[in-house]
A and B are shown apart, each in its own frame.
Chain A
Amino acid sequence: MKSNILTIIKKEFNRVFYDRQLLFTTVILPGLIIYFVYSLMGDAANKMAQSDREENVAVQVENLPQSVAEAFKTLGDNVSVTEGAFTKPEIDALNDKSVNRLLVRFPVQFDSLVNVYEPAQGLLAPNVEIYYNSTNTATQRIYSMVCGALNNYENSISNRFDINRADSKEMRFNQADDEKVSGMILSKILPILILMMLFSGVMPIAQTSIAGEKERGTIATLLITPMRREELALGKILAISGIALLSALSSFIGIVLSMPKLIAANGGGELSFSYSTTDMAILLLVIISSVFIMTAAISLLSTLAKDVRNAGTLALPVMFGILFVCLISMFQNSVSNSLLYDIIPFYNSVTVLTALFQHELHLMNAAVCIAANIAYTLVSVWVLTKMFNNEKVMFSK
């Protein structure tokens, strides 16, 4: 019994490993694509920020008041501030995206107007006009800086109270651990990323291996050997899962390698990744059991399908189902510990992964999830065996 299962597994692996094209598309390409796309995204974001900082921007200020003159001097090395009035055609010229220029107009006597202004009088406050072009990212950046500087000045002259002013570095207002903060962020992104990665590994392999063999008439040749149908079912599911895990591993390596660039582009390495060996072991087990149940589901549908194309259509609802549970989990703030949720296929994997990244996982939940996934897989092997035995399923055209 064991040797037949091994023979089938070996054949399925040989099919992928000796076919350079298939090996490339299933095992190497996913990682490569993710690495290049993410790296390019990170690089592009980095470069954009970098070039904006390097571009020279001219700021012309009309009626520059004494009170904020200092703030304008500290806008940056490549920002040249000049004083002087400007005209309507000069404002219109900003329409040209390539003009790195900002025009700021203060009311005459700005400081005294501000001093006498009382909000209670119900009159309009003195207004500063800043003309810029938001499609020019360099001037957009300086615009934000000028707004910031002016807002700061406004706060400083009319400050009545502060919120969360840290008088010393020891003062902490947000009582969540840094670990939990980054856990919260990871738990929103990683479960959906992991499940989609696994699914995109499982789908093509299961379809070619089962619907493809059915379409090409090669599975009938296997059915005519004395091998038992359950051996074929188990061998197929184990082999497909194994190959899908390799494909997922490739995507995983792609993500890990491109992570530094992505994090750098998002403003530095604030994400702290602090998980124990137990966490990682549970992660691995949840991933493996999820691949099993995905393989089982797609294998059953591929067996029902007449050909590979049909199998693709039948697999769509499963994909939408997985997407749906991933989205639900993204919008859920807290993870329920109810064991009942841990027996709902796919949803259980998402909730356990979410809780794991949030450092709030109970071992019992993980155990029930993994056990449920394996139980569903075994039931699927049994159903698959029945299907392999059913001539209407196997030979209907």
Chain B
Amino acid sequence: MDEILTASGLCKTFNLSRKQQRIERTNARQKVAVDNLSFTAYRGEIFGLLGPNGAGKTTTLRMLSTLIRPDGGNAIVDGQSIVNEPEKVRAKIAFLTSELKLEDFFTPNYLFDFFSQLHGVDSAVAAERKAQLFSRFGIDKFAEVKVANLSTGMKQKVSIVISLVHDPDIIIFDEPTNGLDVLTARVVTDFLRELRSKGKTIILSTHIFSLVEQLCDRVGVIIDGRMVACGSLADVCNGLTLEDRFFELYKEVKGNEE
């Protein structure tokens, strides 16, 4: 198998504000969000990061997509280091998260062209890609409607399409079905399978077991910023359902601490 993304020893610590200290009931000034995290993703697979809220999934994905820098460790994304060559990494990936918004004022059509230009995509290629993706997601009818006036589902579709203007090989997707109705969620999961069939690599984070079971080839279980299990779905599950296996792992980690 062809390694396309290797994270080794990723660490990230955040300073806690007084307010956060009160919320988390701790006196510690810092919180370790990601603790020496390593994993590998292979070309053409869907890799899932599974974990509860606050486990460090989103922080890991934000580091991989170069939005924030790791305090320690590194990741090599298709031959480029997220620490030393963040711009080159950004050219190779798509990052989708609810944190990244599209300007309400503009139309999907305008935004597609705008981001195509920022990614240096040839205008003819961009036009062809736009036509194809817009019709695939049914955006063509809304192409000239301002983002502000689109439904949540349609906004998510537009975000997906615009993140793919440069046809990246790696798609990093934070909580892909969060906040979507069943119909739109299905469109998204189907599209992820379609991307995999085209040889793309998808790294997604989720806390939904069924999503991992339906979609992922391999899974990494993150608890308290640490990778507690990583491998193919069958290896990780070890004969149990994913849910049962997760709680077993959770008890192992938390039980040791208490």
Contacts and interface: CB of A to CB of B under 8 A. Distances in A.
Given A224-B95, A226-B87, A391-B67, A218 B115 contact: no
A91 B69 CA distance: 87
Nearest to B116: A7
Interface in A353-397: 391, 395
Q: Contact size class for A?
A: 20 to 34
Given A220-B100, A220-B101, A228 B95 contact: no
B160 to A, nearest CB: 13
A175 interface: no
Given A224-B67, A224-B95, A7 B117 contact: yes
B68 interface: yes
A7 B121 CA distance: 13
B101 A216 contact: yes
A216 B101 CA distance: 7
Looking at chain A's contact residues, is the secondary structure mostly helix, strand, loop, or mixed?
helix
Nearest to A213: B103
Interface in A174-225: 213, 216-218, 220-225
Interface in A32-71: none
Contacts of B114: 7, 11
A217 B98 CA distance: 9
A137 to B, nearest CB: 52
Interface residues of B, number: 25
A3 B100 CA distance: 23
Contacts of B90: 224-226
Contact of A220 (B67, B106, B118): B67
A228 B65 CA distance: 15
B110 A217 contact: no
A73 interface: no
A216 B103 contact: yes
A223 B102 contact: no
B194 interface: no
B257 interface: no
A225 B99 contact: no
B100 A7 contact: no
Contact of A19 (B69, B95, B101, B105): B105
Given A11-B114, A391-B68, A226 B91 contact: yes
A194 B120 CA distance: 40
Contacts of B95: 224
A4 interface: yes
Contacts of A3: 117, 120
B235 interface: no
A217 B104 CA distance: 11
B29 interface: no
Contacts of A217: 99-101
Contact of A14 (B101, B102, B110): B110
B178 to A, nearest CB: 15
A217 B103 CA distance: 9
B18 interface: no
Given A4-B118, A7-B114, A226-B87, A391 B100 contact: no
A227 interface: yes
A15 interface: yes
A225 B118 contact: yes
A341 to B, nearest CB: 42
Most buried by B among A15, A223, A228: A223
A7 B67 contact: no
Nearest to B93: A224
Contact of A218 (B67, B87, B101): B101
A225 B88 CA distance: 10
B65 A226 contact: no
Most buried by B among A11, A225, A391: A225
Nearest to A3: B117
Interface in B111-170: 114-115, 117-120
Interface in B68-112: 68-69, 87-88, 90-91, 95, 99-106, 110
Contacts of B68: 391, 395
A292 B101 CA distance: 28
Nearest to A22: B105
A223 B100 CA distance: 10
A198 to B, nearest CB: 25
B120 A216 contact: no
B152 to A, nearest CB: 15
Given A4-B117, A225-B115, 9 more contacts: A3-B120, A11-B114, A14-B110, A15-B103, A216-B101, A218-B102, A221-B101, A223-B67, A226-B119
13 contacts: A4-B118, A217-B101, A220-B101, A221-B100, A221-B102, A225-B115, A226-B87, A226-B90, A226-B119, A227-B87, A228-B87, A391-B68, A395-B68
Query: Which 6 A-B residue pairs are closest in the complex by CB-CB distance?
Result: A217-B101, A226-B91, A391-B68, A225-B118, A221-B100, A226-B90
